[in-house]
């Protein structure tokens, strides 16, 4: 497999390739100090991982003999640096590489929305948290979205379970208290799953709930004094 990276700033003459595993650790795979000068980090086998850079603004990372352990997100970065003063590195969005395990069946996720706690966000103007949980899927090519686009937070990477040999991911949606307590509101979580050939959506929905609303009724008494 060959991964490509390019940029448009000639001052960023140093380029790097990093590997982020499913446990989220990031390792330097290879680096280049200039055109035609590349090196593979000692912790990686240079016969398996090879970086090439025939142009100043472009580099490639070649990964040979793909195994499931090569599944990761690979990041390219570029920086300009002097010996006395380090400069920041600028990263690309990353390339997700998945090597399927022939012994692990492709499985779409189970999706479930968990309602907010009755103890959360009781005050006026406060918020409730809905949690969308997608479990037991393989591989981990998923994106999570909500129909109500307010205050969404999603785990950056799916988590691997060594026991089930499957992935899981969670997404949280923060909504105003009054929005949750309106029964006509419907909140939908959609997990877009790539099954190796095409994308398919798995969804779950939940309606707002009036439970937990405290009604305060004020009775006014008028006293008339007849003279």
Residue among 53, 62, 28 nearest 42 (CA): 28
Label residue 149 by pLDDT band (50, 70, 90).
low
How confident is the model over 85-113, as a mean pLDDT?
91
Output the pTM of the full model. Answer: 0.73
| pLDDT of res. 86 | 72
Decide which of 179 and 48 is more confident.
Answer: 48
Highest averaged pLDDT of the listed ranges 84-88, 141-145, 206-210: 141-145
Label residue 206 by pLDDT band (50, 70, 90).
very high
User: Which range among 2-6, 124-128, 157-161 shows the weakest confidence by mean pLDDT?
Assistant: 124-128
pLDDT of 142 above 50? yes
* Separation between Cα atoms, residue 198 and residue 138, nearest integer Å: 14
Residue among 204, 137, 146, 201 nearest 169 (CA): 137
pLDDT of 219 above 60? no
Contact criterion met (CB below 8 Å) for 138 and 105:
yes
* DSSP 8-state assignment for residue 84: S
Name the 3-class secondary structure at 154.
strand
Question: CA-CA distances (angstroms) from residue 102 to 70, 95, 139, 147?
Answer: 14, 22, 11, 35
Contact criterion met (CB below 8 Å) for 108 and 193:
yes
Helices (H) and strands (E) in the chain, counts: 1, 17
Handedness of CA 14, 17, 20, 25 (dihedral sign): negative
How confident is the model over 50-60, as a mean pLDDT?
95
How confident is the model over 67-88, as a mean pLDDT?
84
Share of the chain above pLDDT 90, in %: 59
| pLDDT of res. 147 | 83
pLDDT of 128 above 80? yes
- Using the structure block, give the residue that is written with the tokens 């991964």: 3
pLDDT of 151 above 70? no
* Separation between Cα atoms, residue 77 and residue 75, nearest integer Å: 7
Question: CA-CA distances (angstroms) from residue 59 to 10, 17, 51, 162?
Answer: 13, 9, 7, 35
pLDDT of 214 above 50? no
* Separation between Cα atoms, residue 45 and residue 40, nearest integer Å: 8
What are the chain's domains? 2-97 (2.60.40.10), 110-207 (2.60.40.10)
């Amino acid at each position: 497999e060959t991964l490509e990276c390019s940029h448009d700033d000639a001052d960023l003459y140093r380029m790097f390739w990093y590997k982020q595993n499913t446990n989220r650790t990031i390792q330097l795979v290879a680096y280049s100090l200039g055109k035609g000068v590349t090196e593979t980090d000692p912790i990686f086998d240079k016969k398996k991982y090879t970086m090439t850079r025939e142009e100043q603004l472009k580099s490639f990372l070649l990964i040979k003999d793909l195994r499931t352990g090569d599944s990761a997100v690979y990041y390219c970065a570029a920086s300009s640096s002097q010996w006395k003063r380090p400069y920041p590195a600028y990263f690309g969005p990353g390339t997700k590489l998945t090597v399927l395990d022939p012994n692990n069946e492709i499985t779409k996720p189970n999706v479930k929305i968990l309602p907010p706690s009755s103890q959360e966000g009781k005050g006026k103007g406060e918020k409730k948290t809905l949690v969308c949980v997608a479990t037991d899927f393989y591989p981990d090519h998923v994106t999570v979205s909500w129909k109500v686009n307010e205050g969404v937070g999603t785990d950056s990477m799916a988590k691997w379970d060594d026991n089930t040999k499957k992935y899981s991911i969670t997404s949280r949606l923060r909504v105003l208290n009054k929005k949750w307590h309106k029964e006509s509101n419907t909140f939908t979580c959609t997990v877009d799953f790539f099954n190796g050939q095409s994308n398919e959506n798995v969804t779950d929905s939940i309606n707002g709930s009036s439970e937990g609303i405290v009604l305060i009724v004020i009775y006014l008494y008028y006293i008339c004094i007849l003279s």
